[in-house]
């Protein structure tokens, strides 16, 4: 059983989201063979020196899950791309480049955070290239901690304001970019997050080949969800139950 999740946006302060993630790590994740976190696990990450202290509970729980024999993988999102070797060493996670091809339930599957395929948002893609620049990151990490935290807070406010003024379609993935990526990597299924638009999309590639794009759910205090994929390729969206149980929707991936 493989579990995948993304866009938890865990804050520094106490939150039901943090409690839900710990419940996931100490519960459902213990029965998995591997867990893949596809970015934006944290609301922001200004460096391992700050994040490991502010999220000590999550770090300890991830390390305990790793010691129990569950393989852990992390792919950076647009909020936590500064997660580095210190986080990997403390938790036992393997850091992945974006995107990656996996064999999930007998199906070649492309996994990604997803923001790289929002190509219609030209301004965001410009920022994405700059923020991933090694020199820019090197300079940022040499700023005092308080300055880094202040910059992160300012960027969050700016991002929120820009989202309110952008057309909804611009912030979604570009279908041509998705098809090109799937064809380039020779896959018939793709799993990603980022857009906060959880859904299952059927699409056609070249020569009429059918494909599936699964968008992971973003987390809210009243809805915390992950995706499980079993050995037969059956994908199930499951909610993390910290209160009364709910139903899970299952389908066979194609």
The answer to whether the annotation marks 147 as part of a ligand binding site is no
The answer to whether the annotation marks 180 as part of a ligand binding site is no
| pLDDT at residue 164 in the model | 65
Using one digit for the tens of pLDDT, what is the confidence trace for 120-159? 999 999 999 999 999 999 999 999 999 999 998 888 777 7
User: Rounded distance, CA 8 to CA 124, Å?
Assistant: 20
Using one digit for the tens of pLDDT, what is the confidence trace for 32-60? 999 999 999 999 999 999 999 999 999 99
Task: Please list the residues that pair with 174 across neighbouring strands.
Answer: none
Domain coordinates of the chain in residue numbers? Answer: 2-252
The answer to whether the annotation marks 78 as part of a ligand binding site is yes
The number of CA neighbours under 13 Å toward the Cβ of 32 is 23
- Which of the residues in the chain have pLDDT under 70? 161, 163-166, 243-254
The answer to whether the annotation marks 79 as part of a ligand binding site is yes
The answer to whether the annotation marks 53 as part of a ligand binding site is no
The answer to whether the annotation marks 55 as part of a ligand binding site is no
| pLDDT at residue 13 in the model | 95
The answer to whether the annotation marks 194 as part of a ligand binding site is yes
- Domain spanning 2-252: CATH 3.40.50.720: no
CA angle in degrees (0–180, nearest 5) for 91-95-100: 140
The answer to whether the annotation marks 121 as part of a ligand binding site is yes
| 141 CB neighbour count, 10 Å cutoff | 14
| pLDDT at residue 246 in the model | 42
């Amino acid at each position: 059983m493989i579990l995948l999740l993304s866009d938890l946006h865990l804050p520094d302060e106490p939150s039901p989201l943090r409690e839900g993630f710990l419940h996931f790590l100490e519960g459902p994740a213990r029965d998995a063979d591997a867990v893949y976190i596809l970015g934006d696990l944290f609301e922001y990450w200004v460096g391992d020196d700050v994040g490991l202290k502010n999220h000590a509970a999550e770090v300890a729980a991830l390390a305990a899950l790793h010691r129990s024999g569950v393989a852990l993988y992390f792919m950076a999102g647009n909020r936590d791309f500064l997660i580095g070797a210190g986080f990997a060493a403390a938790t036992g996670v393997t850091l992945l480049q974006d995107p990656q091809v996996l064999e999930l339930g007998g199906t070649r599957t492309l996994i990604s955070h997803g923001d790289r395929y929002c190509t219609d948002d030209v301004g965001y893609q410009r920022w994405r290239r700059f923020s991933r620049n090694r020199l820019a990151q090197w300079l940022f990490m040499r700023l005092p901690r308080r300055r880094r935290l202040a910059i992160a807070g300012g960027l969050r406010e700016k991002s929120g304001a820009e989202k309110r003024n952008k057309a909804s379609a611009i912030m979604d993935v570009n279908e041509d970019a998705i098809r090109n990526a799937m064809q380039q990597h020779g896959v018939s299924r793709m799993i990603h997050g980022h857009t906060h638009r959880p859904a299952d999309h059927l699409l056609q590639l070249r020569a009429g080949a059918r494909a599936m794009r699964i968008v992971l759910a973003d987390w809210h205090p009243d809805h915390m969800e992950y995706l499980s994929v079993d050995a037969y390729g059956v994908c199930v969206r499951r909610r993390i139950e910290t209160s009364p149980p709910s139903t899970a929707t299952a389908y066979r991936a194609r």
